[in-house]
Amino acid sequence: MELANRLAYINEPQTIAMAKMGRELAAAGHDVISLSLGEPDFVTPTHIVEAAKKAMDEGFTFYTPVAGFPELKQAICQKLQRDNNLIYTPENILVSTGAKQSIMNVVMSVINPGDEVIIPTPYWVSYSEMVKLMEGIPVFIESTVEQNYKINAAQLEAAITSKTKAFMFSSPCNPTGSVYSHSELLALAEVFAKYPNIMILSDEIYEYINFTGKHESIAQFDFIKNQVVV
Other residues' Cβ atoms within 10 Å of the Cβ of residue 122: 15
Q: Are residues 153 and 168 in the same domain?
A: yes
What average pLDDT score do residues 28-57 get?
91
pLDDT at 203: 98
Whether the pLDDT of residue 40 is over 80: the answer is: no
Asked if residue 102 and residue 87 are part of one domain, the reply reads: no
Please indicate, yes or no, whether residues 79 and 160 belong to a single structural domain of this protein: no
Q: What is the pLDDT of residues 75-123, one digit of tens each?
A: 999 999 999 999 999 999 999 999 999 999 999 999 999 999 999 999 9
114 lies in the same domain as 77:
no
Structural domain count of the chain: 2
Q: Is the pLDDT of residue 174 over 80?
A: yes
Q: Is 153 in the same domain as 115?
A: yes
Q: In the predicted model, what is the mean pLDDT of the chain?
A: 95
Structural domain harbouring 149: 97-229
Residues 36-43, mean pLDDT to the nearest whole number: 81
pLDDT at 1: 86
**pLDDT for 92:** 97
Residues 129 and 191 in one domain: yes
Query: What mean pLDDT comes out for the span 115-140?
Result: 96
For residues 204 and 223, what is the distance between their CA atoms, to the nearest angstrom?
Answer: 20
Output the pLDDT for position 136.
97
Reduce the DSSP state of residue 158 to 3 states and report it. helix
> Could you report the per-residue pLDDT of 151-162, keeping only the tens digit for each?
999 999 999 999
Start-to-end Cα distance in the chain: 39
160 and 123 share one domain: yes
- pTM metric for this prediction: 0.91
